[in-house]
Structure 1
Amino acid sequence: MIRGFLPLLRGSTYSGMLFAYCGALASLPLLPFALLPTLAWSSAPYGAQAVLVLLVWAALTGSVGLARTTRRALIAFARQLLRVPLPTPAAVPSGADRWRTPLWLLLHVALGWTGALTSGVLVLMGIALPGDWLGAEAGLSLFGRSLRSDGGWRSWVVALGCLLLAATVCVVVTGALRWAAPKLLGPSSAERLALAAERELRLAERNRLAHELHDSIGHTLTAATIQAAVAGEVLSADPVAARAAMRSIEESTRAALEDLDYVLGALRAEKAGRAPTRTLADLPELLDRLRHAGAVVEPELSGELAQVHGTLSRAAYRILQEGLTNALRHGAGGPIEVRVAAASDALEIDVVNRTGVRASTGTGKSAGPGAFPTSGHGLPGLAERVRLLHGEVEAGPDGPRHWRLAVRLPVRLSA
């Protein structure tokens, strides 16, 4: 019994009724246009003219719903006043889906007028019937019937019943609109597919940005830490080498800041600048930064690397950056062998370095991120990048004290 009165205590019930009333009032400006056909058919019976006015009025109201801006506005108001979680439409409705908004408008206006007239009459009856409270006999005439108060307690009971019925009308109208909103204003099958595709693209972009940020910032912090240590050790004995290390820190951090600004701008949904592009053409600069950090790098470059362009060149740079960062971070200080070979059918990348502990036997081969025994995100992210390019990756011990990262990417060299 008490549960039945709970909707009367919720603010959403009355905000939903306000939403229904707004729909009724919004249709009033179309009424004068609906009356125009009766001017040309003035000889028709009043009943026929009333039906014609209602039909034209409904047609004009429904036509407003064909505009995409109308649908967006209705969805926004329904979210605020009806408290219905409706996503913003991601695609322009087509076919049968275009008629869902006009149907919603007609339902909205019809329920709005029904609720407004019914609750208005009931409230008026509830106020007018207890005439003795007003100091004079009161009454109400409705549809040829007259309701008058006898001044007793029954008038108060009837008045209270009318007010409760008016509140019940609010609950029913709001509930009907809240039930119909997801069906007529919610996403259709095509919109659900579009929303799912949009979410997938956003997720893929965020994953890509996470990989880029990890590769760039992780490498920069590793190199800068080692370079700062080197500069501190040789500051008195070799100021020239110390200054070179500091310059390398400045250059690498400036490049990392460019990457960070772009990623943060994209994550904030701002209009970010052009994404910094690091390709194989920037490989000499990357190797120089490692040398300034005190690492011994032994590169072996072969093939037409300059003819590797686009996504493949950018991915190859990030793969080398991640491999060299790991070698710098976990290596035992020995030389780092780097081999990049561009053939007619594949781009091969090898990074070999001495490890600080005796390596276990066996190698891990995988094109997916789950094969590497590491708690970080570097090698799994690298493996995911290789998998998306339909390549092959191998990471693991290479002899008793060496670690080898080998990547093979399918490539088509341009002429």
Structure 2
Amino acid sequence: MTRRLIAPLVSATTCRRGAFLLLGGVLLLPYGLVGAGLAGLARDGGTPLAVTVVLSAAAAVIGLAPPFLHGARVLEVAAARWLLGVELPDPPGRPAPEARLRGALWFAVHLGVGAVVAFALFVAVPTAAALIMTRTGWTAAWWALLGVALLLATGYGVAGLGALAALMAPVLLGPSADERVAAIRAQARRLAERNRLARDLHDSVGHALTVTVVQAAAAGELLDRDPAFARRALTAIEETARAAMEDLDQVLGLLRPSPEPPGPEPPGPELHGAELPDPQLPGAEVHGAEVHGAEVHGAEPQAPVAGRPDLGDLGRLAAVAGARLVTDGPIGEVPAELSRQAYRVVQESLTNALRHAAPAPVSLRVTAGGPGLVVEVRNPLPGRGLAGMRERVALLGGELVAGPDGDQWRVRAEWHW
């Protein structure tokens, strides 16, 4: 019990909070000196009244300006963090008027309480010491007891005022309602951007690795019969893996937290080289918007496709995946962002088919018009990775339907704009 009573008096937290309160008294000192000087001018009578009034008005303007300045709030927040032990966010660059008023109120309270604490430490403590040490006679014990009580009252008063300051700091120095909403929205934008980057990383790099495995298998099978093809396949594997590593490093760098203040949502990064290599497939006939008879074995590997792909790159994608592609309508008129997202949905569907259902046939149909866009992928085995595809489709207000359709598994995505 005694330890709990003494703890506030010897706590390091109380010492830090007392230093914070004393800082307010130090800041009040220039105000006191200026006020005393102006009062002396007024009492002296030798200074014209108009001059005294002008000086007083100028001093009032100069003295009232700092509490409303953004820099003063930043310094108060930093002091509250270090000395009061309060977790406060960095104030925004342009605080709202309501936040400036709260900051000015905190500044004034800090100075006022600091003056009280300074008085207590520099007046009450010496007085208590004098009561304890200088009194003699039979009343000395009572005077000493009074001095000890004065010291205890001063210590507990400083501890209580420090605790109250720590309690009020988030109220007066914390973000306003509008600032909290803005921070939540900025955090939501950052999370959405990180989720988008994670999806792109999964689709692009995962697809590149899947194709690398398929090409490696083809190179191993044709190594004795067609060494030249095997060498080209190995070169394409090297280039694809190198590009995938560069994409991985780029996306991970973007996913790291940034110390910069939140701003407008940045545009999505360009993912280069982690897409499907562009093979020229022997036996694959290309007629307008159709790709027929693509076989993985015998594919002519080339360097990865640069840039962010869209529906215009579906021919290459379908060719290397061995899928039959049929397009209908002006897919070139599909909005750019929707075209890229639809390409990613097709890419993930074909990657899943290539990974889990190969060498089963896969059919792909893309229909544009209305205005609307429908993407449909069919293969004999149930699909995977549907959660990521649903999220990507819903991002632009689309709808994804996946399930058995007769003896096949169908994935159908539809958007309208």
* TM-score (norm: length of structure 1): 0.77
| Residue in 2 that maps onto 1:395 | 402
The answer as to whether partners of 1:297 and 1:338 remain within 8 angstroms in 2 is yes
The answer as to whether partners of 1:62 and 1:106 remain within 8 angstroms in 2 is no
What amino acid sits opposite 1:262 in the alignment? Answer: Q
The answer as to whether partners of 1:129 and 1:149 remain within 8 angstroms in 2 is no
2:189 to 198, 201, 218: 201
Whole-Å separation in 2 of the counterparts to 1:255 and 1:282: 18
| Residue in 2 that maps onto 1:17 | 18
Secondary structure, in 3 states, of the residue corresponding to 2:68? Answer: coil
What amino acid sits opposite 1:349 in the alignment? Answer: V
Determine if the alignment matches structure 1 residue 385 to structure 2 residue 385.
no
What amino acid sits opposite 1:296 in the alignment? Answer: G
**Structure 2 vs 1, CA of residues 119 and 18 (structure 1 numbering), >3 Å: closer, same or farther?**
same
Q: Where does structure 1 differ by over 6 angstroms across 4 or more consecutive aligned residues? A: 53-59
Whole-Å separation in 1 of the counterparts to 2:198 and 2:38: 64
1:353 to 355, 379, 385: 379
The answer as to whether partners of 2:376 and 2:410 remain within 8 angstroms in 1 is yes
The Cα offsets for residues 284-323 of structure 1, whole Å up to 9 and x where unpaired, read as: 44345xx2xxx42222233333333421111011111111
Identity %: 38
Determine if the alignment matches structure 1 residue 173 to structure 2 residue 135.
no
What amino acid sits opposite 1:286 in the alignment? Answer: L
**Structure 2 vs 1, CA of residues 173 and 212 (structure 1 numbering), >3 Å: closer, same or farther?**
same
**Structure 2 vs 1, CA of residues 205 and 189 (structure 1 numbering), >3 Å: closer, same or farther?**
same
**Structure 2 vs 1, CA of residues 128 and 237 (structure 1 numbering), >3 Å: closer, same or farther?**
farther
Q: Which moved more, 1:19-28 or 1:98-107?
A: 19-28
| Residue in 2 that maps onto 1:116 | 118
**Structure 2 vs 1, CA of residues 10 and 57 (structure 1 numbering), >3 Å: closer, same or farther?**
farther
What amino acid sits opposite 1:275 in the alignment? Answer: E
**Structure 2 vs 1, CA of residues 100 and 166 (structure 1 numbering), >3 Å: closer, same or farther?**
same
Whole-Å separation in 2 of the counterparts to 1:7 and 1:130: 22
**Unaligned stretches of 5+ in structure 1?**
45-52, 132-137, 139-147, 360-371
| Residue in 2 that maps onto 1:142 | none
Whole-Å separation in 2 of the counterparts to 1:121 and 1:75: 29
Q: How many angstroms does 1:42 deviate by?
A: 3.2
| Residue in 1 that maps onto 2:279 | none
| Residue in 1 that maps onto 2:82 | 80
Secondary structure, in 3 states, of the residue corresponding to 2:410? Answer: strand
1:275 to 254, 267, 270: 270
| Residue in 2 that maps onto 1:369 | none
Q: After superposition, where does 1:200-349 map in structure 2 within 5 Å?
A: 200-270=188-258, 274-276=269-271, 277-287=308-318, 291=320, 295-349=321-375
The answer as to whether partners of 1:347 and 1:408 remain within 8 angstroms in 2 is yes
The answer as to whether partners of 1:34 and 1:56 remain within 8 angstroms in 2 is no
Whole-Å separation in 2 of the counterparts to 1:243 and 1:335: 27
Determine if the alignment matches structure 1 residue 27 to structure 2 residue 28.
yes
The answer as to whether partners of 1:397 and 1:403 remain within 8 angstroms in 2 is yes
| Residue in 1 that maps onto 2:411 | 405
Secondary structure, in 3 states, of the residue corresponding to 2:377? Answer: strand
Q: Which moved more, 1:197-206 or 1:301-310?
A: 301-310
**Structure 2 vs 1, CA of residues 217 and 343 (structure 1 numbering), >3 Å: closer, same or farther?**
same
**Unaligned stretches of 5+ in structure 2?**
46-54, 261-265, 272-307
Q: How many angstroms does 1:261 deviate by?
A: 3.0
The answer as to whether partners of 2:399 and 2:413 remain within 8 angstroms in 1 is yes
The answer as to whether partners of 1:227 and 1:245 remain within 8 angstroms in 2 is yes
What amino acid sits opposite 1:108 in the alignment? Answer: H
Question: Aligned Cα RMSD in Å?
Answer: 3.1
* TM-score (norm: length of structure 2): 0.77
Whole-Å separation in 2 of the counterparts to 1:332 and 1:219: 14
Whole-Å separation in 2 of the counterparts to 1:36 and 1:313: 74
